[in-house]
Amino acid sequence: LIFESSLSIDVRRLLEDVGPILFLAIIGLLISTFVVGGAVHWISGEALVVCLLLGAIVSATDPVAVVAIFKELGAPKRLAILVEGESLFNDATAIVMFNILAAMIIGAAAVDIGGGAFAFAKVFIGGIIVGYVMARIFCAIFARLHNSAMVEITLTVTLAYFSFVIAEHYLHLSG
């Protein structure tokens, strides 16, 4: 879903609103994670880090229905870009939060605020860089193709899979 959304979004309009999008995707998800996690901790008495993990899991948004309604109602295109862009980066933020909190739970990492912020920035920005580099490589390959639909489809699926595997499993970034 993330790959399909990233293919169909208007990148120029996304970049025009990158500030509010990143604010919503990062700060919004962190607030949501802490509100949900804090509420679950208060109600259940479970360990806070476990409750925060649950908060990170449920805080990622999926705007498919909302964007469809926006199109049906004729809502401004900027609103759809904000929602779709937030969702793209929100997923990466949720994955990073999940990985940090899961590592804390299993005892693989004791993360302080600075360490958590650095880990987040590394995984988040690193994932974007891997995606960009892979996209540039595949753009160069696509430029040499002669309108072969089957090859283009195969390479598109391969791009999504390889960029995920390289980022997630080999570089330990957001895939």
What is the average pLDDT score of the chain?
83
- The C-alpha angle 80, 86, 92, rounded to 5 degrees, equals 145
Tens digits of residue pLDDT in 64-100: 777 778 878 888 888 888 888 888 888 778 888 888 8
Give yes or no for a contact between 52 and 58, defined as CB atoms under 8 angstroms apart: no
Higher confidence at residue 174 or residue 40? 40
Share of the chain above pLDDT 70, in %: 91
The span from the CA of 9 to the CA of 151, in Å, is 23
Residue extents of the structural domains in the chain: 1-111, 112-175
Indicate the burial class of 6 (C-beta count within 10 angstroms; 0-12, 13-18, 19 or more): middle
Give yes or no for a contact between 130 and 171, defined as CB atoms under 8 angstroms apart: yes
Query: For residue 114, what pLDDT band results from cuts at 50, 70 and 90?
Result: confident
Tens digits of residue pLDDT in 143-153: 887 777 788 88
